A and B are shown apart, each in its own frame.
Chain A
Amino acid sequence: MAFPSEDFSALYGSLPTLREGTPLSDETENTSIEPTFSPDAGDALAKTALVVPEADSPRRAALPAKGIVLHALRDGFAAFLDLAKIIIPVYFAVALLNYSGLIALLAEWLRPAMRLFGLPGEAAIVLLTGWFMTLYAALGALRALDLPSSAITAIAFMLLFCHALPLEWAILKKMGARATRVTLMRFAISISPAESMPSFTAAR
């Protein structure tokens, strides 16, 4: 989820256009998920672009494929630059820590805990990066270390269920969900035995 299509909201209603790592703006005045069942919910449905425009509507006709691709290239590259701003510092920081031996120290210290997951000690720093920073930071940290493919799969498996916890906590809160409970639940799943399956099954 890393592309900033600025006119995304034109099609999908009041959708915030932002990338992971940017705080949500405060424009939603209704922060609960209480529905507003009104007689003209059908009209609202039509307005929120769940209705397919007619084949000859101007919106559809005015979008040549080449223009879209160029626009997407620009968006994609902009998103890539944003990601690079996260990945590069984390990568170099972890590489530096690795080189200086601090990672090895940490790994020794955390090896008993990591063994519960069937992971090497260095995995702890990748997990922490994924939990408290974004998934892409964890990607950078993971690549900066030299872990076997089974460990990569296991770490990624855990992180995909549960990453960027502070940010997603804030998003859930905005959505009106019980943010703390959901976040704790995701974290519990992430470190549950189900998540360690990849590392305990045969190394692929």
Chain B
Amino acid sequence: MAKTVLGCAKLLGLVLAIIVPITIASELVRARDLLPRAARRISSSMGRLGPGEGALAPLLIGLLFGIVYGGGAMIALTRAGAVKPEEARTVGTFLGLCHSIFEDPLLFVAIGGNWLWLMVIRFLLALVLTPFLRRLS
């Protein structure tokens, strides 16, 4: 029993050690308005290859913060007309496969997962699968 309590406490310690720095980083990003600037710079450097500027912001939000915030941003911006519907569908499909690329995988890496699989390969696989699955949704 004591071993269970200790194990649980260690897990909670890991979760805390990951959640708090990520929260701090994300609040700094949000407060310094780094996200719109980054979105602009990324979309201009990707040109025609990637999503437009409008869809890039929800994409970044979903990648960094999770599907709830990304989806919410997508709804807000689509309603405002800043995102085209087919772009919204593509980005939404991608986010469904791959959201929150730092927080969630890091937790699993901390308990013994392999970061290459959980962070890199997952992202790449989602990239590859999205064009095919977009037609289904």
Show the binding face of A for B, using Cβ within 8 Å. Answer: 1-3, 5, 8, 11-16, 18-20, 28, 30, 33-38, 41, 44-45, 47-53, 60, 63, 65, 68-69, 71-73, 75-77, 79-80, 83-84, 87-88, 91-92, 95, 135-136, 139-140, 142-144, 149-150, 152-153, 156-157, 160-161, 168, 171-172, 174-178, 181-182, 185-186, 189, 194, 197-198, 204
Contacts and interface: CB of A to CB of B under 8 A. Distances in A.
Given A53-B33, A77-B20, A157-B118, A37 B81 contact: yes
Interface string B76-103: 1111111111001100110011111001
Nearest to B5: A92
The 4 closest A-B pairs by CB, nearest first: A1-B66, A76-B23, A44-B80, A13-B76
Given A71-B27, A75-B23, A185-B136, A1 B68 contact: yes
Contacts of A1: 65-69, 99-100, 103-104
Contact of A69 (B4, B24, B54): B24
Contacts of A18: 68
Contacts of A65: 28
